[in-house]
């Protein structure tokens, strides 16, 4: 059963992105203690990255562990980057 839970956690993070531990537990119907054990094992194996976070939602302080896949990097923005200007003389200096 342990690998099934770990697989479902990884699949959930793959489809939904970064989530708090409470959100993962609620979505997968897993007890929080069991989820923390599996997430710790996945973190030790390098499958997920976790960090402690504090969020304020409607003035209410919520503390939890934010989890995401370790290979889940944000995609770079398309197009030209702001502030980078092409040097008009760059092509002429090649000689």
Of the chain, the percentage scoring pLDDT greater than 70 comes to 76
Task: Tell me the pLDDT band of 54, cut-offs 50, 70 and 90.
Answer: very high
CA distance 7 to 9: 5
Please give the pLDDT value at position 78. Answer: 78
Reported as a single tens digit per residue, the pLDDT across 57-93 is 899 998 999 999 987 566 676 777 666 666 666 656 5
Beta carbons within 8 Å of 24's beta carbon, 6+ residues apart = 9, 12, 13, 30, 35, 39, 67
Q: 60 is written with which tokens? A: 């209410």
Reported as a single tens digit per residue, the pLDDT across 7-50 is 999 999 999 989 999 999 999 999 999 999 999 999 999 999 99
Q: Is the pTM of this model over 0.85?
A: no
SS3 68: strand
Phi then psi dihedrals of residue 94, to 5 deg: -75, -20
CATH class of 2-69: mainly alpha
- What residues does each domain of the chain span? 2-69
Nearest to 66 by CA among 47, 81, 51, 88: 51
Query: Which residues are registered as beta bridge partners of 53?
Result: 64
Please give the pLDDT value at position 11. Answer: 92
């Amino acid at each position: 059963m342990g690998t099934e839970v770990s697989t479902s956690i990884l699949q959930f993070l793959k489809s939904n992105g970064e989530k708090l531990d409470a959100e993962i537990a609620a979505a997968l119907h897993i007890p929080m203690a069991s989820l923390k054990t599996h997430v710790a094992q996945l973190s030790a194996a390098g499958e997920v990255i976790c960090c402690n976070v504090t969020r304020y939602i409607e003035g209410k302080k919520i503390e939890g562990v934010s989890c995401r896949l370790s290979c889940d990097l944000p995609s770079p923005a398309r197009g030209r980057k702001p502030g980078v200007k092409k040097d008009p003389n760059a092509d002429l200096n090649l000689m």
